[in-house]
Structure 1
Amino acid sequence: MTDSTTGRSPAVTVSTVTVAGDSTHLVDIHATLTSSGPAGTITGLHPDTAGTTRDRLYAAIHNAGLRWPAQHVAVEVAPTALPGTDTGLDAAVAVALLAVTGQIPTGGLRDAVVIGELGLDGSLRTPRAVAQRLTTAAGAGVPLALIPTGARDLAATVPDISVWLATHLRELVTQLHIADPASAPAIATVAGRPGWPSPGVPVADLADLPAGDWQARRVLEVAAAGAHHLAMIGPAAAATAFARCLPGLLPDLDDDTSRQVADLYRAAGLVPAQVTALRRPPWQAPHHTAPTAALIGTPARPGAVSLAHGGVLHLDNAAAYGSRAVEALGQPLDTELVRLASAAGTVTYPARTQLVVTTPDCPCADLNACTCSPARRRRHLHRLRPLLDRIEIRALLPSGPAQPPGRGEPSMVVAARVAAARTAAAARWAPHVAATNHDVPDAILQQSIARIRAADLAPLRDALAAGTVSTRGTTHILRLAWTLADLAALHRPGPYELTEAITLLGPAATESTEHR
């Protein structure tokens, strides 16, 4: 890898803070690819720890699904007079190696420090003296620090610096690809306060799932792009694994939503009192045995549907939820609010969430020897009818043998397409104050038919004539068709988008397994 204008190998600088004795010092990690020396070796690390550091970094980068440098890399810690045995430099050295090999952008690194130890599995761990390190960085005028999630409470004690948290090296790399903290400081701060990620959000990447599961990948991308409710009916393990990747495809929350989510999490006692913003979309996955109050909330505490405001509510093994719980979720999904009466009055919580339902298509969930009759399968899913009627994407996943191994597209690549599609939708619906295709009022959506060529509407007309699509289904199809057009960078849906939208809507709950 060389600079095409100079012929020299590029150099990357990543700033961090090291501990030397009882003091902390701002240092720079310089990394340069060179043509001399064996491929894959690193020079310039402290001789006492060079071997163990290199082995640790190699394992962490490899286990994060990233590429170890194929050339010789020269690394320098400057100023060189300081000891270089501090494991808190791990993350900064790893980021420098990834940046110099072109695996992450470097723009956001100019105004940030990277602090953290690395585990062999790529996990980011809190080094000693985090608060002192952050204080040193803030005193030097550094506006942003990239640190392990485990250090967030310590970071809250340090003024004048914003923090960006990650639990794993892969997550940190994904964040740097999704948005540049230097050009979008709102990701890290709201009104000058640190922005914490929502607790409990799974760190899951599509790159870890088989590339052959194309159907699950497609429905997940479409759901993320349009904020559509999604049902994945089929093998439990596969559906759940894909559902857990959805938060990583979603863009950061806007200022108002990030404050609302922080208010809800403070009210539930899930984040410290000083947290005023939660930038990443939250994730809630209540167990099917959870009482209805845990789902909907009480006057004293918001429930899962409100704690998923701006993010994802995942109902795993959804057919096992009681009918009372399923019915109770209908009103929050329709109004995006939860209203609860108490002796002191009415308490209202926001509840604008994206519902993801995963469930086997039969009670036995036996992929190899299922003997469930079609009638038994219909009864199994019938209790979900109140939810499935509100869901735009109903995907019946194949129950055949596992897909062949092979890494698929990583979440950061899909997230970029999702962001572009959402930008297009927001621009189109701006006069109607809607940010996503899911948010568009039904009446406005019906009016959008006038934007589609009459000849291109043939698939929808045919479905209506055949009686396979209801009036409500027509609205769902239009929402999906606009999302598919946005993903394809089209100005309006065509016959292909409408046909795929009809397929994505899928059959009704009582019909979904008849012809399995």
Structure 2
Amino acid sequence: MNSGAEWPQKKLTVGLSPASVPKSGSGFDLAVACAVLGAAERIDPRRIADLMMIGELGLDGRVRPVRGVLPAVLAAAEAGYEQVVVPEQTAAEAALVPGVAVLGVNSLRQLIAVLAGEAVPEEEPREPGRPDPMLAGLALPGSGAAAGLASRPADGGGPLPDLADVAGQRAARTALEVAAAGGHHLYLKGPPGAGKTMLAERLPALLPPLTRRESLEVTAVHSVAGVLPPGKPLIDTPPYCAPHHSATMPSLVGGGNGLPRPGAVTLAHRGVLFLDEAAEFSGRVLDALRQPLESGHVVVARSAGVVRLPARFLLVLAANPCPCGRHSLSGAGCECPPAVVRRYQARLSGPLMDRVDLRVGVEPVGRRALLEGAAGGEPTAVVAGRVLDARERASARLAESPWRLNGEVPGHELRTRWRPEPGALREAERDMERGLLTARGLDRVLRVAWTVADLAGHDRPAAADVALALQLRTGVSRGAVPVGEPV
């Protein structure tokens, strides 16, 4: 063998227990090889009895990286293992798990020497021009570049775009702030070039940094998908995922052959999922979002097994008002017949849109505002500070409940346990009488009103907070003052 060990001259049977658990991938190679060497008495079986070993073996005896090292080590720690052996390239990722000693190895020969107490051999350098197969790119089948998936962990490279770059768009900026503060899903509608994508790209930077637990969750997901940023084993800022409108069901919610793999909704866990040109997505694909939007996870069943994947994300939908894109809020310049416009807008189903709290029209910026730039517009750091303060207020109020964000609180709790100021809902009640607002819509308005109140520093939503919430929910101006501006 290339590792200096001979194959034992006897029959061996390798068993992977329990048999009821589906097994796939090359991550078992290192453990199986060590078990064979233990059976051949090349190494002491007692030395490997309490070791968790993860890694792929090449024909040259090198130990190669595999996907999912972090969740595997987390599972090992929960099972009581205190020592793990992993490929050298993923040792930093494995070391994120506290209480587990990590040994990174480059080859089976090196591991044999360590276990036998011998001098560790120096590794030969990799052949020039031969990149590491792992670092050459681990695309997720069915979801990566082939499916038009743009996935960007917020710390994946370079500074994030700043909100100060956005000229005008006062209502949309307010909606972004409210969405970030309360965990509310957002719908941006407007003609091409109005700035919908530009606004959505600035939302992740408004979200607070991930907690240690959230960072491990997000990093584990990206590790399984094989899309961890090189040299950055821990993702500590919210991810941003923007699949192309041609994305398939498996690429969006997860799936593939064999055991299901993470889709865009899972890669956006604890971050932002942006669907640009939302009306161009398949209706079946869009409606598949309804389950994760409600539960925060997605269950994918395949013949090889059933997988429950995390999917608690902030959804941002962006769409043109009509096929030609010129049907502005005033209707000027559009050549589409009214029936065509109605059919186009109906592609976003009622059940899906009912789960979206904020709906904002985005008009093209005027020439004067564009030439003057965004002078006076608040930068991301200032808005993110208000978002963090509002989240802390909500977290303190919801401390005795299972929720942490206003966008998660059920409507009946808001109507009974956390009531707004007396008379604050008068305008909302009038909308209900006129048929402009449903009972479920009222619950959504209450959620947004609490977020607006938290941003304003109010103990309870006042009439002005509810008016702004109605404006953000219905898109109809109520004369409310946007967040962050003086009354």
**Is TM (by shorter chain) over 0.5?**
yes
- RCO comparison, higher one (Cα < 8 Å, 6+): 2
Q: Does 1:336 align with 2:296?
A: yes
Task: Tell whether the 8 Å contact from 1:264 to 1:307 is kept in structure 2 after alignment.
Answer: yes
Name the residue aligned to 1:351: 311
**Structure 2 counterpart of 1:436, from 387, 390, 405:** 405
Decide which of 196, 199, 202 is 1:242's aligned counterpart: 199
Q: Which residue of 2 aligns with 1:209?
A: 166
Cα distance in structure 2, aligned partners of 1:346 and 1:300: 8
Residue in 2 that maps onto 1:392: 357
Q: Return the offset for 1:343.
A: 3.0
How far off its partner does 1:198 sit? 4.9
- Which residue identity is paired with 2:280? A
- The answer (yes or no) to whether the contact 1:219–1:395 under 8 Å persists in 2 is yes
| 2:194 maps to 1:227 | no
**Are the structure 2 counterparts of residues 436 and 351 from structure 1 closer, same or farther at C-alpha, using a change threshold of 3 Å?**
same
Is the 8 Å Cα contact of residues 191 and 325 (structure 2) preserved in structure 1? yes
Paired residue type of 1:452: P
* Aligned AA (1:389): D
Aligned-partner SS, 2:274? strand
1:305 alignment counterpart: 265
The separation in 2 between residues aligned to 1:347 and 1:397, in whole angstroms, is 39
The 5-angstrom pairing of residues 58-457 of structure 1 reads: 198-199=155-156, 203-210=160-167, 212-237=168-193, 238-271=195-228, 277-298=234-255, 299-366=259-326, 369-385=333-349, 386-399=351-364, 401-402=366-367, 403-404=369-370, 405-407=372-374, 408-448=377-417, 451-457=419-425
Paired letter, 1:268: A
Aligned 8 A contact 2:219 2:233 in 1:
yes
Comparing 267-276 with 494-503, greater Cα deviation is found at 267-276
CA distance in 2, matches of 1:244, 1:296: 21
Aligned to 2:146: none
Q: Identify the range of structure 1 (236-245 vs 306-315) with the bigger mean alpha-carbon deviation.
A: 236-245
2: CA distance between counterparts of 1:467 and 1:440?
A: 24
Query: What SS does the corresponding residue of 1:453 show, helix, strand or coil?
Result: coil
Deviation digits for residues 397-427 of structure 1, max 9, x if unmatched? 2246453333221101110011101110111
Q: Per-residue deviation at 1:447?
A: 1.8
**Alpha-carbon deviations, 1:115-143, whole Å to 9, x = none?**
xxxxxxxxxxxxxxxxxxxxxxxxxxxxx
Match of 2:61 in 1: none
Separation of aligned partners in 2, 1:447 and 1:201: 46
Residues 197 and 233 (structure 1 numbering): CA distance in 2 closer, same or farther, change over 3 Å?
closer
Matched residue, 1:472: 440
Offset of residue 301 of structure 1: 1.6
Structure 1 pair 338/221, CA: closer, same or farther in 2 (3 Å)?
same
CA distance in 2: counterparts of 1:256 and 1:373, whole angstroms: 52
> Aligned match of 1:506 in 474, 479, 486?
474
Mark the CA change 1:488 to 1:266 in structure 2 (over 3 Å): closer, same or farther. Answer: same
Deviation track 1:160-188 (CA, whole Å, cap 9, x = no partner) reads 9xxxxxxxxxxxxxxxxxxxxxxxxxxxx
**Structure 1 CA distance, aligned partners of 2:458 and 2:235?**
33
For residue 406 of structure 1, what is the amino acid of its counterpart? G
State the SS of the aligned residue for 1:220. helix
Measure, in 2, the Cα distance between the counterparts of 1:255 and 1:433: 19
Cα distance change on mapping 1:202 and 1:358 into 2, 3 Å: farther
Partner amino acid for 2:357? E
Rg (Cα) greater in structure: 2
- CA shift for structure 1 position 442: 3.0
Q: Which amino acid aligns with 1:377?
A: V
TM-score (norm 2): 0.61
Distance 1:252 1:480, change over 3 A: same
Q: 1:401 to 1:379 in 2, by over 3 A?
A: farther
Query: In 2, Cα distance between the equivalents of 1:200 and 1:325?
Result: 30
Over 3 Å counting, the alpha-carbon distance change for 1:272 and 1:355 in structure 2 is closer
Structure (1/2) with the larger strand percentage: 1
* Worse-matched range after superposition: 453-462 or 238-247: 453-462
The 8 Å contact of residues 390 and 454 in structure 2, kept in 1 or not, is answered as yes
Cα separation, 1, equivalents of 2:344 and 2:454: 36
Identity value in percent:
41
Letter of the structure 2 residue corresponding to residue 222 of structure 1:
V
Give the superposition deviation at 1:283. 0.6
SS at match of 1:339: strand
- SS of residue in 1 equivalent to 2:352: helix
Paired letter, 2:373:
G
Give the letter aligned to residue 214 of structure 1. Answer: R
> By how many angstroms is 1:217 displaced?
0.9
- Residues 38-49 of structure 1 aligned to structure 2 (within 5 Å): none
Shift of the 285–303 alpha-carbon distance from structure 1 to 2, 3 Å rule, reads same
What is the alpha-carbon distance in structure 1 between the residues aligned to residue 230 and residue 366 of structure 2? Answer: 49
Q: One-letter code of the match for 2:244?
A: H
How far off its partner does 1:456 sit? 2.1
CA deviation digits over 1:260-284, x for unaligned, max 9?
1111100100017996632101110
- Give the whole-Å Cα distance in 1 for the aligned partners of 2:381 and 2:325: 32
Q: 1:461 and 1:419 mapped to 2: Cα distance?
A: 31
| Aligned-CA RMSD value | 2.7
**How many matched pairs?**
319
1:425-447 deviation per Cα after TM superposition (whole angstroms, max 9, x unaligned): 11111111211111213332222
Q: Partners of 1:155 and 1:231 in 2: how far apart?
A: 41
- Structure 1 CA distance for aligned equivalents of residues 159 and 253 of structure 2: 22
Q: Tell me by how many angstroms 1:448 deviates.
A: 3.8
In the alignment, is the contact (CA less than 8 A) between 2:169 and 2:362 conserved in 1?
Answer: no
Aligned counterparts of 1:278 and 1:487: Cα–Cα separation in 2? 27
| Change over 3 Å in CA distance of 1:357–1:391 after alignment to 2 | same
Shift of 1:465: 1.5
Q: Distance in 2 between matches of 1:353 and 1:426?
A: 18
Alpha carbons 1:202, 1:245 under 8 Å: kept: no
| Partner secondary structure for residue 483 of structure 1 | helix
In 2, are the aligned partners of 1:263 and 1:276 still within 8 Å (CA)?
A: no
Distance 1:248 1:234, change over 3 A: same
Q: Is the CA contact 1:266–1:272 (under 8 Å) kept in the aligned structure 2?
A: no
